[in-house]
Amino acid sequence: FNNYLIYVLTKLTSENEPTRSLSGLILKNNIRIHGAQLQPAILEYIKQECLRALSDPSPLIRATAGILITTIANTGGLTNWPELLPTLCDMLDSQDYIVCEGAFGALQKICEDSANTLDSSELNRPLNVMIPKFLQFFRHSSPSIRSYAIACINQFIVNRTQALMVHIDTFIENLFHISSDDDREVRKNVCRGLVMLLEVRMDRLMPHMNNIIEYMLVQTQDSDETSLNACEFWLSLAEQNICKEVLTPHLPRLVPVLVRGMKYSDIDIMVLKGDVEEDEMIPDREEDIKPRFHKSRTVTQKPASGAGGSDGTVRSMDGNDDDDDIDDPYVDMNDDSNPSDWNLRKCSAATLDVLANVYKDEFLPILLPILKETLFHEEWLVKESGILALGAIAEGCMTGMVPHLPELIPYLIVCLSDKKALVRSITCWTLSRYAHWVVSQPHDQYLKPLMKELLKRILDANKRVQEAACSAFATLEEEACTELVPYLGFILDTLVFAFRKYQHKNLLILYDAIGTLADSVGHHLNKPEYISMLMPPLIEKWNNLKDEDKDLFPLLECLSSVATALHSGFLPYSEPVYRRCISLIQQTLIQDVASTTNPTQFEQPDKDFMIVALDLLSGLAEGLDCYIES
């Protein structure tokens, strides 16, 4: 069957290209999963046919062959295919453009997947030959070849590979030579290379820094993916010690570019369905729901801006508290289509945030006129980007913003009722960034109206707004703590009603908001009328979820906080919760023993389940003031 698949890919030219390519992709999966069981003669035949297919007239077939070659190299190891790299390097010298391009496509994939292996003595350090060879192609007549050559070398910058470091001046010189290339893919790879060099060889870039900054200012305003790669330069530069020294003269030109980059593009609006205002009845797609990881109930230090989660993490703009994104609330902001998709908008916002932390209030003379223009703009897309910018600078420029907040906070509270869902959702996030200041003022002035409007948005007809409001309210809960006690009945009314309203994804955010409320008000929650409101929906979810259901995880975390807050008020619910926690811990331990004894048959268990179950037991013990016997 594998012989048949390689035949269809490489020899059955009467078939259409997508079918031939599909055959190669099926073969790739077979090799990835069953490569070790393939007969050596068959594998050898596949290898030879793949190398021949790199000269196929079809770019799709050449690309598929390159993927197959990389898969074989990754599965069996480059040491088991010693002739591969010399053969590909020889093909680069072919007078036939198609052969050269096909070989470069395969080499780029190998460099991307095996950067560390290529620098090993086990392979006789092939990079000593490959990198000088790649450098020769920076001035090739084909933009595709030039792009491949840069992309290959870029893979070795971050690791400071010695074979590249000895040629670093030649590499930088060649990058500068093609920096104004007509081809966007070439310029994109030039930008990527310069961003990585900024982190590892700043000393070599410093003499040229003014010219690089001018170049990046132009590229950041490009209309395609080049702009994102150029924008990452500013984010990286903002984190360097020399930022102020080299960037200050250019700030008046850079800041407007960054704010413009924060505006949604037409494609963003299409992907995000930004013109859909009411979608609460549409079921969530399972692939849009991110996995959650355990966070301790112990509240540590909060970020000064008040933008933190209960465990000290920074809540991103879609409400997720990702440990990997602890200092980056922009990774997941407002993108239900692909929450991990990094784009120009997010990069621009993150850069503005870091620059605000570098320059502090010195940043405001440049930024305030831009904010005044965008925040009150008639076009909602411009206004939305201004609100995002206002949130981005909250931490770095808080002191300088205080005189302006008495005017801005009421305006933002009004924006929570904007007719556009994307404006309402970003306003929730921006207000959460100023929650610390809001709580420090007289309650009737800002806290009470903000709380009232956020609770309305928690019940919004748009799922993205629900999510942003729930997350913002959790931040407000952390900042206000017991200041919320007079409003507990009103708050619980809203949160409990949301149980009946929310789809799958936002239900997980709701658990976080309830758990945070319990952490914030503590024993004040232990009143019969509050318990009768809160516990029935929580226990109903608890009873309906199976032990293996991942949704049980955030519910366990929520109940852990609730149990601690309710003390003896949790007693009627403690026995079934206790028994299930013990059961979850036992199951995990049994799985752990099984996977240790027989790792090929049993997978490692998810020990986070056991940790959070133990956390809940701790909450029971603490709340009920009793001993739990094993």
pLDDT bucket at 401, cuts 50 / 70 / 90? very high
12 SS3 class: coil
Dihedral angle at the C-alpha atoms of 200, 201, 205, 206, nearest 10 degrees? 100
pLDDT at 325: 36
The arithmetic mean of pLDDT across residues 365-388, rounded, is 94
**Residue-by-residue DSSP string for 250-273:** GHHHHHHHHHHHTSPPHHHHHHHT
C-alpha 148: how far from chain center: 27
Mean pLDDT of 236-258: 92
| Per-residue pLDDT tens digits for 174-186 | 999 998 888 989 9
Q: Which residues contact 360 (CB under 8 A, 6 or more apart)?
A: 396, 397, 399, 400
Domains and CATH numbers, the chain: 1-230 (1.25.10.10), 526-629 (no CATH)
Across 93-102, 394-403, 583-592, least confident range: 583-592
Q: What digits encode the pLDDT tens for the residues 542-600?
A: 888 888 788 888 888 898 899 889 888 888 888 888 888 888 888 888 888 888 887 76
In tens, the pLDDT along 311-358 reads 333 455 544 444 333 334 565 454 444 444 788 999 999 999 999 999
Residue with tokens 């933002």: 412
Q: How far apart, in whole angstroms, are the C-alpha atoms of residue 93 and residue 99?
A: 9
pLDDT for 596: 82
DSSP letters along 51-120, please?
HHHTT-S-HHHHHHHHHHHHHHHHHH-GGG-TTHHHHHHHHHT-SSHHHHHHHHHHHHHHHHH-HHHHT-
pLDDT for res 281: 64
Cα torsion 454, 288, 341, 244: sign: positive
15-26 per-position pLDDT tens digit = 899 999 999 999
pTM given for the model? 0.82
Q: In the prediction, which pLDDT does 291 show?
A: 52
Q: What's the pLDDT tens digit per position in 208-233?
A: 999 999 999 999 998 767 888 899 99
Stretch 389-399: mean pLDDT, rounded? 95
Mean pLDDT, the chain, as a whole number?
Answer: 85
For the ranges 219-223, 270-274, 281-285, the maximum mean pLDDT occurs at 219-223
Closest CA to 426 of 352, 360, 330: 330
